[in-house]
Amino acid sequence: MNPNRDCKSPSLQPLRFFRVFRLSVRVHPDQQFVFPFTPEMIVRLPITVLAALLACSAVPLLFAAKPASPGEWTKTNLPQLIELYRHFHQNPELPLKEEKTAARIAQELELLEIKVTTRVGGYGVVGVLENGPGKVVLLRSDMDALPVVEQTGLPYASKVRVEDARGATVGVMHACGHDLHMANLIGVARYLVSARVAWSGTVVFVFQPAEELGAGAAAMIADGLFGRFPRPHYAVALHDSADSPTGQIGYLAGFAMANVDSVDITIKGRGGHGASPESTIDPVVIAARLVLDLQTIVSREIKPIHPAVVTVGSIHGGTKHNIISDECRLQLTLRSLSPEVRQQLQDAVRRKALAAAASAGAPEPTIEISEGTPALFNDPHLTNRLAGMLKKRLGEKCVVEGEPVMGGEDFGRFGSTGVPTCMLRLGAVGQKRLDEFAARKVPPHSLHSPLYFPDAEEALATGIPTLVACVTELLPPGNSD
Ligand SMILES: [Zn+2]
Ligand SMILES: [Zn+2]
């Protein structure tokens, strides 16, 4: 990427000046030396010389004011950024526990003299960088890690172990790349501070906790993110992609990630001896029938062109071979893109659970639907504008349109408040490693896998210039709207 290629070289300006000056002392065409100055010119000569000297002394300033391109800057500063990335990688913290991570982020932003506010919606950190008139752009990174025992074998692998809510020891790992997002956004902050002439407006850096719980964005908004800080005209984020190559950026206008809802169903029966089913109502049989019936929602009730998923991820009932239990519990995840399909799924699950119990003469089951993350909707105008700009900078082949996935991402919550949002995908695995997976005929390790790791150097080399380019596109210098 070379965002400099359209810029005029500052070295052209002094050359033009010297050419003009030489004309004023040229030799007469008849080859005989003629004193070239009139008395009036002699009076003006010291002024001309003074102007020339001033212009010469301004030349170094012209060079000094020209910031390095984001690509060159990232290349030069990569060692420090990788050190920061590895620090985050080796010190992961679970959702809602991001205390030390947030402290380090705040410290990094304060070093840049960015206005920092901590403890926004839990451990959220907000940095406000004002740089003259213009619009406001929010850039977001998440901060939390996952309860995963890292198995990458990397020299800087996480060895962190903590106790979970139930007292069990669990490993902690940045298996979703949020460490990469943090290092990337700190890199962007460092660059924007060093290159203030390249943009004008305000950037709000949001480091969000508890993304993996789908809770952090909502908590920050509830804590006044859009009231206590400049309200953004646009919000942009990057998320790493485990199956696209470094150097590549993915985009998708419209619905990009799913509505995520969790459902807890408790089927109630009448317990008894396993040898006397006639005196019981068996909740395990009702649950088994319900699991199969639930599969017909997507296959028979939802329009085939509308994406939807119903998964029963957990089913628990009974304690022993010969006891019919009182109840059986199911846990489901529902995924959809549109609000209409989301409602349709919820209604159908309720109806089928009630019907399954009724058909066995069992008491009414309890059905609890906890609304999780809303779908991530990438504002089409903003997304296409950024994608078009990035295609020009990175090259058409490096900016590719993706397809929706049914995973969840609470960055969508910023969009639900009316702020146009765009999340771009950052290719994070080197082509060589992707080719190795392909040669072995296995898919690359997915996000959340204990074996997943990004090629951080290469990913940052694209990620930082990409976000910087989004800022300079949306907050161009000299723009005071
Ligand atoms: Zn994740
Ligand atoms: Zn993630």
> Is 419 within 8 Å of 232 (Cβ atoms)?
yes
Query: 52: CA distance to ligand 2 center in Å?
Result: 57
Using the predicted structure, report yes or no on whether residue 362 has a pLDDT greater than 60.
Answer: yes
DSSP string, 302-349: S-TTS-EEEEEEEEEE-SSTTEE-SEEEEEEEEEESSHHHHHHHHHHH
Q: What is the mean pLDDT of the chain?
A: 89
Please report the pLDDT score of residue 33 as a whole number: 44
- Residue 299 DSSP one-character state: I
Confidence of residue 12 (pLDDT cuts 50, 70, 90): very low
State pLDDT tens for residues 252-288: 999 999 999 999 999 999 999 999 999 999 999 999 9
Distance CA 359, CA 99 (A): 51
CB 388 within 8 Å of CB 395: no
What is the distance in A from the centroid of ligand 2 to the CA of 172?
14
Q: Could you tell me the pLDDT band of residue 39, with boundaries at 50, 70 and 90?
A: low
Confidence grade of residue 43 (pLDDT, cut at 50, 70, 90): low
At residue 475 the predicted structure's pLDDT band, cuts being 50, 70 and 90, is very high
Lowest mean pLDDT among 3-12, 81-90, 237-246, 298-307: 3-12
| Distance (Å, whole) CA 100 – CA 209 | 12
Nearest ligand to the CA of 177 is 2
pLDDT given for residue 24 in this prediction: 37
Query: What are the residues whose beta carbons fall under 8 Å from the beta carbon of 310, sequence distance 6 or more?
Result: 294, 295, 297, 298, 332, 334, 345, 349
| Site of tokens 């062109």 | 305
The mean per-residue pLDDT over the stretch 429-439 comes to: 98
Please tell me the number of the ligand nearest to residue 146's CA.
Answer: 1
Contact 457, 422 (CB under 8 A): no
Residues 6 or more apart whose CB falls under 8 angstroms from that of 276 comprise: none
The confidence band for 371, taking pLDDT boundaries of 50, 70 and 90, is confident
pLDDT over 90 percentage in the chain? 83
Structure tokens at 86: 């590895």
Structure tokens at 150: 């890292």
> What integer pLDDT is reported at residue 66 of this predicted model?
79
Q: How many helices (H) and strands (E) does the chain have?
A: 13, 18
Distance 422 CA to ligand 2 centre (A): 15
Region 72-258+375-474: CATH code: 3.40.630.10
d(Cα 184, Cα 180) in Å, to the nearest integer? 6
Task: Place 11 in a pLDDT band, splitting at 50, 70 and 90.
Answer: very low
The alpha carbon of 17 and the centre of ligand 1 are apart by a number of angstroms equal to 57
Alpha helices in 196-325 (DSSP H): 216-222, 225-228, 283-296
Annotated catalytic sites, by residue?
144, 211
Residue 19 has pLDDT above 50, yes or no: no
Ligand that lies nearest to the alpha carbon of residue 407, given by its number in the listed order:
1
Q: How many whole angstroms from 212 Cα to the centroid of ligand 1?
A: 5
Residues of CATH 3.30.70.360 domain(s) within the chain? 261-371
Phi-psi region of 119 (alpha: psi -120 to 50; beta: other; left: phi over 0): left
Residue 4 has pLDDT above 50, yes or no: no
CATH 3.40.630.10 residue window(s) in the chain: 72-258+375-474
From ligand 2's centre to the CA of 304, what distance in Å?
Answer: 28
pLDDT confidence band for 428 (50 / 70 / 90): very high
Q: Of the ligands numbered here, which is closest to the C-alpha atom of 208?
A: 2
pLDDT at 166: 82
How remote is the CA of residue 448 from the centroid of ligand 1, in Å?
6
Q: Mean pLDDT across the stretch 31-51?
A: 52
**CA within 13 Å, CB half, 246:** 19
* pLDDT recorded at residue 69: 96
β-bridge mates for residue 260, sequence order? 335
Please report the sign of the dihedral spanned by the C-alpha atoms of residue 413, residue 94, residue 266, residue 355: positive
Residue 372 banded pLDDT, cuts 50, 70, 90:
confident
Cα 370 to middle of ligand 2, angstroms? 21
Give the closest ligand to the alpha carbon of residue 182: 2
Mean of the pLDDT values across residues 276-303?
98
Task: Tell me the pLDDT band of 51, cut-offs 50, 70 and 90.
Answer: low
125 Cα–ligand 1 center, Å: 19
Say what the pLDDT of residue 30 is.
41
8 A C-beta contact, residue 304 and residue 345? no
Q: What is the pLDDT of residues 147-188, one digit of tens each?
A: 999 999 999 999 999 998 788 899 999 999 999 999 999 999
Tens digits of per-residue pLDDT, 390-422? 999 999 999 999 999 999 999 999 998 999 999
What confidence score (pLDDT) does residue 45 get? 53
**224-256 per-position pLDDT tens digit:** 999 999 999 999 999 999 999 999 999 999 999
CATH topology of domain 261-371: Alpha-Beta Plaits (3.30.70)
SS3 252: coil
